[in-house]
Copies of this chain bind each other. A is one copy, B any other.
Amino acid sequence: MNNELNIISPKTSTERDVLHDLEQLREQAPLVHCMTNSVVTNFTANVLLAIGASPAMVVTIEEAPEFAAIASALLINVGTITTADAHVMLKTAEAATAHGTPWVLDPVAAGAIGFRTGVTHELIACKPTVIRGNASEILAVSGEKSEAKGVDSTASSQDALHAAALLAGTTGAIVALSGETDFITDGTTAIPVPGGHPLMTRVTGTGCTLGATIAAFLPVSSTPLQAAATASAIYARAGKDAATGNEHRLGSFAVAFLDRLSSMGNS
């Protein structure tokens, strides 16, 4: 399939598109319902507030499906999933799809362990709008796992892009593949988003909060493809800018990253 994949040059998602989407997001302040992992709840809320969205972490069975129906967008991240979480996430995903709430699935470490891989496949059957993951995760959930080495994060971009396009084609979801260059694909075309900085992999949650940021753009961007491209472009720029002068200063880098997200387009 990737032989037929049309790689769109970065220019198709222009600086103007990105800033326009960001302006729209700040104006509309979409309510982003997050069911995410216990490591990144605080950082996720602060990232969403920094870009101008309104985060809400609602996680119990009595509330989450009901809330997904009224939220502007939903994020489901399986990073620290428990038995009970799996049940609530499935019911919430069903509710989101039933009520037309766009949602992002982040299959953290899928493929590495049996339980979450099974839950991830059940969640994919609930029709996420976007699936975001790194090369290993996308390879694993696409069923192309056998070509890679389990959770091998050094899986080649080419293999992973093929798998991402395949996953998009079979599920109907936009797939946002994170890496040195991010790729956003609908199965037939792919938008590369270069940039970012290696330091982003050394602060916990930069991937997970990108998933939340994509969710935030879903209600305001023209298409899910554009939402994922905008979110990735904003992240790449904030990460690169925040790294300046903070090469071996991970605490300062994380603070600067939030600073950059909140100042972008404002200063």
Q: Which A residues contact B (CB, under 8 angstroms)?
A: 37-43, 45-46, 49-50, 55-63, 66-67, 79-85, 109, 113-116, 202-205, 248-252, 254-259, 261-263, 266-267
Contact = CB atoms under 8 A, between A and B. Distances in A.
Contacts of A259: 248-252
A111 to B, nearest CB: 13
B251 A256 contact: yes
> Which of A84, A252, A262 gathers the greatest number of chain B CB atoms within 10 Å?
A262
A248 B204 CA distance: 23
B254 A267 contact: no
Contact of A83 (B39, B61, B113, B116): B61
Ranked nearest first, the 10 interchain pairs of A and B with the lowest CB-CB distance are: A251-B258, A62-B115, A45-B204, A251-B255, A248-B263, A249-B259, A250-B262, A60-B82, A251-B259, A248-B266
A202 B80 contact: no
Contacts of A43: 42
A42 B39 contact: yes
A188 B85 CA distance: 45
Nearest to A118: B62
Contact of A57 (B38, B49, B67): B38
B39 A38 contact: no
